[in-house]
Structure 1
Amino acid sequence: MVRINVHNHYHKLPIIASVAWYVTLLVLLIVWLASGRPKYPSQDGSIAYISDVGASYMKPFFIVGTCITAVSFVLTLASERLLQHAHRLLPTQRRSETILSYCSIAGSIIAGAGLILLSIFDTKRYTSLHRVFLLVFMLGVILSALFTVVEFRLLSHTYASYNKLRRSYIAKGIIAAILICLGVAFGILLFGDSEALIDAGAILEWVIGFGFTAYLLVFFYDLRLAAPRHQKSQALKNMEAGQWRV
């Protein structure tokens, strides 16, 4: 059973990010389907890409959704670092762990900026810029995920008997690996010259988009454990008392 500290509101950040992103994609998909699956001016195949729907009259909604998602994603990682520094989550013990934590935040900033900019510079009016910012977003997410997974793997070695850390980095690693593999396939299909490949790329983009929601939600698992303000995490108290199994 998940226990949530009522004094900790940081766990709401990944929920806000994931819900904002999921709702944005779901509304765009419903709008396209409910409209009779129209072919937008920027669309090449028979299946619309997320950006095709987002470049239509839904653009203001798309921009708002991406802004909320991007800001919440960055704040999620920044909050995790802040809570570690305050010992409200298990703190980093090695310099490498701290550096990886800051690098993951930097990656999220890159991803967030790319996400916002790709929604502003839509694929209909700014095709080349849109693709550049799409690449920036994907690279930012990949870098952030890699740094986060490595950081949590090192932390799981530092706090070897704290099983929740191991479960956390394994979950992040599995989801990130799947999304990266799908992202590589999407990048290849994005430059396809047949309608079948273009449509496959569109389907894959929707799958990756909804899959990103799962990655955001994993951080809820971490942040829900933060101790109240000015208190150490229970795991750290147990460790200092010699009770390692948590």
Structure 2
Amino acid sequence: MPSTTEARIAFRKYFSWYWFPTIGSIVWIGTLLSLLITWFATGSPLYGGMGRRGQYIPYISNIGADFLKPLFITGSCITAICFVLSLFGARWLRHRGRILPNTSTRQKILSIVSIVGAIIGGLGLILLAIFDTHRYSVLHRIFLAVFCGGVLVSALGTVLEYWGLERNYSKTSRALTISMWTKLVFFFIELGLAVAFGVLMTNRINNAAAVVEWVLGILFTGYLLSFNLDLIPATRSRTGQFKDMELARPVSTSEEPMTARSTPSEAVVG
């Protein structure tokens, strides 16, 4: 019979934290595609006051405020919950030493900031779906800003945390380096598009703003999926395995010391 440890590792291959970014990204892109396909299939209708504004490309929320509103709310809720749990999972697994742990208090604080930002952004996403743009236009725009702001704060905290981690583990974990650069690229692209979206909306260039919003929504799927780079290695690790990883450089006096006694097998995982 397999040992308890072997059974636990086998279980993690089929049910682990990496399921949250996977499910969240599938649900989110599925929601967006359902809205878009429905719009095309119904003859590309003009919702609300789109015609009066000279708008022929709908915002995501224009379609989500129509008869597909229950789908939009459900997809937004599942995505928001999975987004928060993906970040919480990374924090928990680092604390348990099942993936590369934080090496300073500053990194832990940045991780908490990213989780708080995700919670704020997730609540914004749920509320903007509930308070749709047709019936509650002012509230909808407020919650849209909350969603964008929360996600950007969360992404910035994550990028800064991973920047510090990558400096410490660059010689022992190529996966961490790839994850850090992936999130950094997504952050700058999403930031640039969010600014462009705000400027276009303010100037009522609605068709261009709608295109930017759809691109932002689709790219969020990729950002959510990028957490699999961090969470999937936990399916092959045990508690405390990475707590003694060899650092790429000595930690400063302001950082928490770590003992450098990693094994060759540990140094290539993660």
Normalized against structure 2, the TM-score is what? 0.84
Match of residue 84, structure 2, among 74, 85, 96: 74
- Counterpart of 2:42, as a letter, is S
Summarize deviations over 1:174-217 as a string: whole Å, max 9, x none: 01111110110001111223xxx210111111111111101001
Name the count of aligned residue pairs.
239
Partner in structure 2 of residue 35 of structure 1: 42
Q: Kindly indicate whether structure 1 or structure 2 has the higher relative contact order, using CA contacts under 8 Å at least 6 residues apart.
A: 1
Query: Does residue 189 of structure 2 align to residue 178 of structure 1?
Result: yes
Partner in structure 2 of residue 220 of structure 1: 228
- Counterpart of 2:219, as a letter, is G
Cα offset, 1:28, TM superposition: 0.3
Contact 1:70 1:112 in 2 (8 A): yes
Partner in structure 1 of residue 59 of structure 2: 49
Contact 1:89 1:227 in 2 (8 A): no
Greater C-alpha Rg = 2
Partner in structure 1 of residue 201 of structure 2: 190
Cα offset, 1:238, TM superposition: 5.9
Cα offset, 1:230, TM superposition: 5.0
Match of residue 119, structure 1, among 108, 121, 129: 129
Cα offset, 1:18, TM superposition: 0.4
Cα offset, 1:237, TM superposition: 6.1
Cα offset, 1:242, TM superposition: 5.2
Query: Does residue 103 of structure 2 align to residue 93 of structure 1?
Result: yes
- Counterpart of 2:64, as a letter, is G
Q: Which moved more, 1:138-147 or 1:5-14?
A: 5-14
Partner in structure 2 of residue 24 of structure 1: 31
Partner in structure 1 of residue 208 of structure 2: 200
Normalized against structure 1, the TM-score is what? 0.92
Partner in structure 1 of residue 13 of structure 2: 6
For residues 126 and 206 of structure 1, what CA distance do their matches in structure 2 show?
A: 21
For residues 243 and 116 of structure 2, what CA distance do their matches in structure 1 show?
A: 27
- Counterpart of 2:25, as a letter, is S
Task: Name the SS for the 1:6 alignment partner.
Answer: helix
In structure 2, list runs of 5 or more residues that go unmatched: 1-9, 247-260
In structure 1, list runs of 5 or more residues that go unmatched: none
Summarize deviations over 1:14-36 as a string: whole Å, max 9, x none: 01110111000000000111111
Match of residue 128, structure 1, among 134, 138, 149: 138
4+ long deviations beyond 3 Å: 227-230, 235-239, 242-245
Contact 2:13 2:235 in 1 (8 A): no
- Counterpart of 1:129, as a letter, is L
Percent identity, aligned pairs only, is 43
For residues 228 and 164 of structure 1, what CA distance do their matches in structure 2 show?
A: 14
Q: 1:237–1:131: structure 2 CA closer, same or farther, 3 Å change rule?
A: same
Contact 1:152 1:169 in 2 (8 A): yes
- Counterpart of 1:92, as a letter, is N
Contact 1:8 1:224 in 2 (8 A): no
Cα offset, 1:127, TM superposition: 0.3
- Counterpart of 2:135, as a letter, is R
